[in-house]
Amino acid sequence: MRTVIAGGNGKIAVQLERLLTARGDEAVGLVRRPEAADPVRAAHAEPVVCDLESATASEVAGHLAGADAAVFAAGAGPGSGAARKDTMDRAGAELFAEACARAGVRRLIVVSALRVDEEPPPGTDPVFAAYLRAKGAADAAIRARTDLDWTILRPGRLTDEPGTGRVRLGADVTHSEVPREDVAAVLAALLDEPRTAGLTLGLVSGETPVPAAVTATLPA
């Protein structure tokens, strides 16, 4: 399998790239700048410079040509303002989805966040509120598409603790935390299970091994 990952030098993306290449898959990591390519190479993946905030859908589709699947794991990141939450976390995700459709890459997994379908509560930091709204809008736009076999993965608060390989995964997950390493493991498992297309899944640490947790989400 050849998988193209937007935000290829991010912490989750690099761990996913390691998992994919270790099992013999091809992984391509899209990065904004050439100097961000080293972590992708270190994961034995192929770095490709592509700025989702300035590229066209056709340009991104060119990088997706020949892929079997795609993962959107990009984001404006810490320290960015509300404007970039919209141009990256919303518009970047929607552009990547459109590019997948143009390239004929139906399988798309999007890394989102818990509780983005709700209006942020009063007192929420304005930039974080902009992030939640951007993620919610992107998810809604992608879920409205019928030309993609999408899965939306919504992790809880991300940590850099070692993964346990045990999670809670499902539509009814409440807010908690999850190691990035376990998020990457779930992404790899979702790539292996096309029957998860059309699902929006929350993810936090739990007691169920990742393969069993993914299987449990499948429609009866």
| 131 classed as catalytic | yes
Take residue 125 and report the two structure tokens written for it. 């930091």
**Which is the catalytic residue, given 131, 156, 173, 178?**
131
- For 74-110, letters b (16+ CB in 10 Å) and e give bbbeeebebebbbbbbbbbbbbbbbbbbbbebbbbbb
Sign of the CA dihedral 23, 28, 29, 35?
positive
Alpha-carbon dihedral of residues 17, 191, 112, 29, nearest 10 degrees? Answer: 30
Label residue 175 left, alpha or beta by phi (over 0 means left) and psi (-120 to 50 means alpha).
Answer: beta
Q: What span, in angstroms and rounded, lies between the C-alpha atoms of 195 and 153?
A: 14
Residue 161 DSSP code: S
Catalytic positions, please?
131
